[in-house]
Each structure stands twice: as structure tokens, then as C-alpha cells.
Chain A
Amino acid sequence: MPRYRVSYSKDDTARFMSHLDLVRTFGRALRRAGLPVTLSRGFNPHARISFAFPLPVGVSGLEEYADIELDREVSPEEIVRTLNAGMPQGLKVTGSCRLEEGSPALMAEAHRSTYLVRLDRENVPGLEAVLKCLEKIAEVPELPVTRRKKDGSAAQFDIRPGILALSAREEEGRVVIEMDLMTGSSLNVRPAEVIQAVRESCGIFDEGCRLEITRTRIRGRGGKELFHRCSGEGQKC
């Protein structure tokens, strides 16, 4: 069965959708699109679609990915066009391409994500203080944060190995922190955890500080684009 990878953005009001709601929304959009979706077997058949690492509720994503299995070949352009006809505000399919036979699953390929964290201008110290703090974090050998385990108990977890790059700049009078973090089953770091670490180690902004977080891209190992395995006309999408 032909497999397709689509890239999409999720922002505006759609950033408040949970991952489960996103999965349901794609399922409905596929049905509306009338694409020859491959259905899973079982009592409650559903479309064969898989997503890269879920975005937390409230976080925007500019370049997210999903893999879809179809019963027959369809042009990538048609996939983009028909899916977009049935999407809510803020959810937009931006590209599609056919995957080569035997391509690994999205979850296995996704390795690192880039996030932009825009800070509320009222509650934040200047760029200087933020840069100083990021430098400090880059130098520490360990950066433990508290994570809840499945059973509800709390445990310390070192996120330092998962932080690949940190930088900060000023845009329109607001401080923006850019983070390259590991995404994947071996090590996964969330931007909120880095912010928490910054807050705890430098004490530079309080709990009430408003953060606007955007995942700008997801990449594979070595920064490879997730469309790199694509074949056929959709390659450049």
C-alpha cells in the first residue's frame, strides 16, 4: 500500500487541540476528503495514520508531520488540496510526498525539534540576563528536572543531554529563546522543562510569565529533513 508523508501546521485556535483531538480531526478530514484511506482491521476500523511526537496543548507547530496509508496511489497535490478542504481554523496541510517502500516510521525517524519561546515582554528581564542564564545552563554537566511517572510519583530526570542548542535574541521588543531539543523515544525534552530549569537556576522569571511556544521544525538524525526519503513528484513539497 502506498504511504504518504504530510507536513502540516497547527497554530492559532488549533493549538489548543489535544493530540487525541488532532488524531480524530485528521481522521474526519480524511473521510471528508474521500481519499482511499486504508482502514485498520477490527471491530472499530480507523484510518491508518501515524504522527510524530505530539505537541503539548497550547504549543503551535509550523512543520509537523504525519504518515498516511492509502489503498491506491493519489497525487501528493490532491492529498494536500482535499485534506485542507476539511480542516478547522489553524490546521493546514503544507506538503505531501509519497514515501519509498520500506521507509522507517515517522516516530523512528524524528530525532530533534526546534522551538521558539517568545516571552511576555512585561514580566521578563532584558536579553542580557536571559543570555547569561543560557550560557550558565550550557556549562552545567547535569540539569535535573522533576517528571511525573505514570504511577503519579515524581522523579528527578536529567535533561541536559537532550539540549542540543540554546540561543536568545530580541524580536519586536520581545525576548525569544530558540531551543534545539531531542525528540524521540530514547530522549525527549520538552521546552517547558527547559524554561523550568532556567527559572530554577537563574530565578529570572516568575510562574506568571506568559510564554508563547512554537515548534518550528522536526528533524531526523544529523538534522536530516523528514521528507528526504520521499519519492516521485511530491519530493519538493
Chain B
Amino acid sequence: MASIKKRDYGEVLDGLLDRVQKPARYAGGELNSVRKDWERTEVKIAFAFPDLYEVGMSHLGLQILYHTVNRRSDTLMERVFAPWKDMEGLMRDQGLLLLSLESRRPVGDFDILAFTLQYEMTFTNILNMIDLAGIPLRSSGRGQGHPLVIAGGPCAFNPEPLADFIDAFAIGEGEDLIHDIIDAYRAGRDLDRRLLLRRLAGIEGVYVPGFYRVRYNSDGTIGSIDPAVEGVPGKIRKRHVSGFERADYPVNPIVPNMGVVHDRIMLEVMRGCTRGCRFCQAGSIYRPVREKSPETLIHQAGQLVKNTGYDEISLVSLSSADYSGLKPLVRGLLNRLEGMGVGVSLPSLRVDAFSVDLAKEIQRVRRSGLTFAPEAGTQRLRDVINKGVTEKEFLEAVSAAFGAGWHAVKLYFMIGLPTETREDLDGIARMALLALKKGEEAGVGRGRLRVTVSVSSFVPKSQTPFQWEPMNTLEEIKEKQRYLKNLLKDKRMAFKWHDPEVSFLEGVLSRGDRRLSAALERAWRLGSRFDGWSECFDFGTWLKAFEDTGIDPRWYAHRRYTYGDVLPWDHIDAGLSREFLVREHSRAMEAVPTPDCRGGRCPACGVCTGAGAKPEIFAAGGEDRAPLPGQLL
């Protein structure tokens, strides 16, 4: 490898940009990106998104943290993304280190390298980026001159598989926590690395894995996870933002120079979700639900349009149709923006006629199809997973969609859910056929009517009522996919499924412990990268990595934990009480649904009582559901 002088990094990069696909991924210089004076800024943070630019720039969390950190005069935050294979090859060939987009400086020159953990299948990219930055891969190998490597995001709710590589995890929402971390870093930057980490571990929501000892039982299960040094908490409680209405929000987000996955304004109407689907990790970890007022949102939308020039605003949240101020919000947005040629869209629809009518009302750009997620094929199984959708609502929704002029619907289901039987698979096919029938009844033209059934495989996630549940074996999933494929042969139907091998690995990593670090490193050394991308994923490499490290992945994916077992993430406290999770799990086994807490019946999940959080609902005491479409405009 040639050695490159520091000041020449940008020039070397320029030379490579003419030789890679989509060079705009690495070029920077976008509108609203921030470049500060390096020498005069005390703390330098590189925000690392371990996937392609197009994916990372579609992530709201990046925009929020970039904005809130760069508002501080003492700190700068720059961005770095995972280089695609072509770029990685050239970088390694030329000896070019991983550079930030803004100032094109090596990531290793920053004080803090902060990864976001959105998806288990990006973990090998994290290792690759640390290595491309020239930083020792393992936390234990890093010293005074290396950046602090931290990580946060949903996958930090079971951080254990990454425990050996990350110095400190940020658990929960980052808006406030990042400032606490920066303050502690400023105060302790001259300390010995271990002492600095001790200081960080004293912040609520910070988990320093190196300070905890895991003991194993003779059967390989976990005996205990305890602090190994004094003064660090036994349980790390997640952080959340209260007073969401006034939370710092980026009204001048970076506008990418190239098409990205979500290329529009993201207006976060609320955080959290009250539905309580038992498989859903986001529904657990983002509790309690917090809404912003329509006035605030309309004001922010106006600023966002002015500062970005986008012509579309997406109302984002886990379930925007549940937002209680929807009626005044939509009315206000349309009044204010219509003349400017700006449209409003909903990224996800609830399965009911209301949502369809709403979509029809606001969607200026008519897309060919609508997507619904009933998740399971029978009422019994929908009660097991607490997906509060009835067949009546489903039929009304698809009828409304076809009636309103859409000629295609896409239906999302999961297979491999706990208690699933053959009947539930038949139910999926039955619902798809019913949807076709509704399309025929609505008079959708023969050649145009289309029902797409998209089936993912259930992956148990930490911090959910299904965390104890095993995942189906590869053979079971494959057999179920074949079974469904046979049932969905109508020419007007399309059947899509997820790669079962990817789901299997997700399952291994989502409930894994820190012993998996070895397999992760081995897989990366054997060449695994971009495992979430079908053109890159190679299951054989992973199997070899497990074999080389003596780890049986099936033990992790297919294991049924008992309530008495110590779970690898037991020391990470998402705020949901253990009693609640156990209760929800046993209600699931009896197919008993639990009502949405917006309705006023508190399921006692523990977040509001134990963690001292409060739901922030705009229409206090008002409708528990969004208004009916007739009242909308």
C-alpha cells in the first residue's frame, strides 16, 4: 500500500471518484450540509451510517443528530457512509483511509466515531468501516490516540453481538443523550481512556460493555451479567425525549445531490406507537407515544419547504394514521402548501377504510397501488400478535382502495409467527383471494387488477413479548414459502418473500450474546459486506465463519427461552416491565388481544410508571381514533 500524505487525501479521493459508480455518494457538498472550522472546533464527531449513502441519507435520525450537534459551537459533526464494493477495492488498493464527506478528513482524526445501528445485517459494514478508518477493530486494542467508537439506535437494545467492537453504546433516543456524551467528553478528554469511559458510563443511557462480566452456565446459557467495575449501573435505562413538541427538529435538513431512498421532506408527527403489536420492537422501545401539535408541525413544514425546496412532505411516524391531530394537520398543510405545488403523503396506511380515504384525499401523486399490512391470515393469529385488524376492516380497506381508483394492492404478512398453523397460511391465501374478489366487484379492469402478497419471516426481537420465542428453522420457512407459492397461483397475484437465510442471521444476531463477536469478525474477514443486499449476501461465508469459530447459529435462532433464563440483553432496560412482557406473552399464547392504550385502558407496560415517562397526546381526552374521513376537510 502506498502511503498518502494527509493533505492529499482529498485529491486521491477525487481521482477515485471518476472510477466508481455513483460518485455523488462520496462527494459531499450538499445543500444544508455543515462544514465548520476544524482547528477552532473543540469536539469532532463522525456520524457513521453503516450502509450506502442512499440509505443513510433517508434516515431521519441522522438529520436530527447532525442538526442538534452542529448547533453547538463547540462541536462539529460530519458524515461517513459505507463504501460500496467498487470504492472499497480502490481505497484498499490506493491505501486511502475512510474519509468524512464534509472536510474529507480521515475518520480516525475525529474524537468520536458514532455508528447508528438500524439493522443487524449492517454489522459487518461496521467492522469494515472501523478497519478502513485504520482504527483497531476491537475496543481492547484501542488507545489514547484513537477515536471513541460509540453506537446507538434500535439494535443497541441488544448490543451484545457488537460488545467487543464498540467502546460505548447509547441506549434510547439520542437528542438529549448526545449532548450529555459531548459534555462528558469535553470534561474528560485528557483522562486516560478507561477513566473517560468510566465517566461516560455514569451517564444515564450509556452502556460500556467492557465494564460488564458475563458468566455462562455449563449448558452454554447465560448465568449472569454484572458490572465488573464499581460505580457502573447494573441496568442501563434507555433515554427518551420528553416535551417532544419542543424537541430540536431539523428544519434545514441536508438535501442530497443524488436520488436517495426517501427523497422528500420527513415531517415527524409523533414518536412511538400505542398499538402494542407483540412482534414489533419499535413499538416497544419508542414508548411512550408523543405527538406534536398541528400548529408546530404546520410551522415546521413551511420552514422545511422553504429550506429544502422539496415538493413532497411525508408524515412520518410508526403509524401516522393514529396521530390524533391528523384532521387539523392535513387541512392546515393543504391550505398552506397547495399553491406551491407541494404534496403530502402517508408512508404507511392503517388497514381500514379511513386510511384509504385519507390517502385518496391527500395523495397528489397517484401511485399505482396501496399497501396494507394485516401481518397474519386469521383472526386467531392476529389476536396472538395483537395486530388489531379485523377481516371486516381489511375488506373495507381493499374495497375502498379499488373503489377509489387504485388497481393494485400490496399485502404484507409474516410467516413463522408463534402458534402458527397450516390454517393461518391458508388464511393468507384466502385474504389475497378476497382482495381479488373485491377488485373484481369494484370493476377494476381485467389486465390491471393486481394483488401482491409479500411475506417476511418472523424474527424474534429483544424487548418484545416475543423475545422468548424461537424462530422457525430454515427448512420450515422454506417449506411454508413453497406452500404459499402453490396457493397463490392466480395470474393476477404476485408472491414475494424474504430470503430465509438472511432472516435466519437476523434472528441469530438480534438475540445473540457477546460470544457472537468472534463469528462476526470471522465473517467480515472472510469477505462479508452489505449482508442486507442480495447481490452481496453469501450465506456460505457466514456458515464457514460460524464453523471456524465453533458457534452453532441454530442454538441462537431456534432457542426457546424460559421466563427464568437470563437473556443476553437483560441489563438493557427499555422501560417495559418484565411483568408486562411476561403477561403479554402469555396473553398471546391464549390469543387474547390487549387494547390500544390510546383508548384509555392502560395495559401497565411500565414505561409511564417505572420510567417516569408520560404519553404526550395532542387531543387530550379527545378521539381515541383519528377522525372519520367525512369530517376531514
Q: Does B552 contact A (CB under 8 A)?
A: no
Which residues of chain A in 87-132 are interfacial with respect to chain B, using CB atoms and an 8 Å cutoff? 87-90
Complex alpha-carbon distance, A28 and B307, angstroms: 9
Are A16 and B257 neighbours in the complex by a CB distance under 8 Å?
yes
Q: Does A142 contact B (CB under 8 A)?
A: no
Complex alpha-carbon distance, A21 and B255, angstroms: 11
Are A17 and B255 neighbours in the complex by a CB distance under 8 Å?
no
Q: Does A216 contact B (CB under 8 A)?
A: no
The total of chain B residues at the interface (CB under 8 A) is 29
How distant is B368 from chain A, measured CB to nearest CB, in Å?
12
Contact of A31 among B18, B258, B341 (CB under 8 A): B341
List the one stretch of B21-29, B273-281, B517-525, B539-547 in contact with chain A: B21-29
Are A45 and B341 neighbours in the complex by a CB distance under 8 Å?
yes
Q: Does B340 contact A (CB under 8 A)?
A: yes
The total of chain A residues at the interface (CB under 8 A) is 30
How distant is A15 from chain B, measured CB to nearest CB, in Å?
8
List the one stretch of B136-144, B308-316, B385-393, B463-471 in contact with chain A: B308-316
Contact with B along A191-231 (1 / 0, CB 8 A): 00000000000000000001100000000000000000000
Which B residues lie within 8 Å of A24 (CB)?
259, 263
Complex alpha-carbon distance, A39 and B18, angstroms: 35
Q: Does B482 contact A (CB under 8 A)?
A: no
Are B366 and A21 neighbours in the complex by a CB distance under 8 Å?
no
Contact of A86 among B258, B263, B309, B341 (CB under 8 A): B309
Q: Contacts A58-B18, A58-B23; is A18 near B307 (CB within 8 Å)?
A: no
Q: Does B365 contact A (CB under 8 A)?
A: yes
Q: Does A29 contact B (CB under 8 A)?
A: yes
Are A13 and B29 neighbours in the complex by a CB distance under 8 Å?
yes
* Nearest CB in chain B to that of A47: its residue: B341
Which B residues lie within 8 Å of A86 (CB)?
31, 309
* Nearest CB in chain A to that of B18: its residue: A58
Q: Does B364 contact A (CB under 8 A)?
A: yes
* Nearest CB in chain B to that of A29: its residue: B309
Complex alpha-carbon distance, A57 and B307, angstroms: 26
Are B29 and A44 neighbours in the complex by a CB distance under 8 Å?
no
Q: Contacts A13-B257, A210-B15; is A18 near B308 (CB within 8 Å)?
A: no
7 closest Cβ pairs, A-B complex = A28-B309, A13-B29, A89-B29, A32-B309, A31-B309, A16-B23, A13-B27
Question: What is B's interface to A at a CB cutoff of 8 Å?
Answer: 15, 17-18, 23-24, 27-31, 33, 255, 257-259, 263, 305-311, 340-342, 364-366
Question: What is A's interface to B at a CB cutoff of 8 Å?
Answer: 12-14, 16-18, 20-21, 24-25, 27-32, 39, 43-46, 57-58, 86-90, 210-211
A-B contact pairs, 5 of them (CB 8 A): A16-B23, A31-B342, A32-B306, A32-B308, A43-B365
